[in-house]
Amino acid sequence: MTEKEKQQSGQLYNGSDRELVAERVAAKKLCAEYNAITYNDYQKKERILDRLLALRGENTWIEANFFCDYGYNIIIGDNFYANHNCVILDCAEVVFGDNVFIGPNCGFYTAGHPLDAQTRNQGLEYAKPIKIGSDVWIGGNVCVMPGVTIGDNVVIGGGSVVVDDIPAGVLAVGNPCRPVRKIDEK
């Protein structure tokens, strides 16, 4: 089994593997190119996103600076907006539903490292997928950690660290992020 196959199946893998390094370099070059584009050169931005991301829906806008590890593990629905300094460490799949709005300085981290120092010091890591539902607003400076699922119609308050799944239809805040109340239709 290759290191990439291990990565994609959620097993421990060596992130320094030649194939994975080459794929990260290619994605980071595209991110650098994207971030250097004149703000209103919409067509060029869209062409780079089409080359970088696995799939994206209608009306995708990602402010510079944007960074990801691979790009091919990122799936974005319709009406997606990410503010400045969005980081998606997509060692595993990261899926965003429709109508997702992300504040500035947010990170989505599928990558994790073993707690055991001896294993960690061998350069081994793991990746767990992240899933964000539809009609979700994520406030500024939020970190979403490996393996988290956020349901539909959720608001994550600014500065939160999301380490556990968040059910649909709630406002959730804090570190660790927890639901504080249901969201009314009003």
6-to-23, 43, 172, 186 alpha-carbon distances in Å: 15, 36, 33, 46
CA 168-57-166 angle, 5° bins: 15
Structure confidence by residue, pLDDT tens digits, 30-80: 999 999 999 899 999 999 999 999 999 999 999 999 999 999 999 999 999
70 residue type, one letter? Y
Q: What superfamily does domain 3-182 belong to in CATH?
A: Hexapeptide repeat proteins (2.160.10.10)
pLDDT band (50, 70, 90) for residue 180: very high
Q: What is the pLDDT of residue 184?
A: 81
Q: What is the pLDDT of residue 146?
A: 98
**Beta pairing class for 60-62 and 80-82:** parallel
C-alpha to C-alpha distance for 112 and 92, rounded to whole angstroms? 11
pLDDT at 10 over 80: yes
**Beta pairing class for 66-68 and 74-76:** unpaired
What positions carry a catalytic annotation? 113
pLDDT at 186 over 80: no
| pLDDT mean over 3-26 | 97
**Kind and range of the H or E run holding 46:** helix 42-52
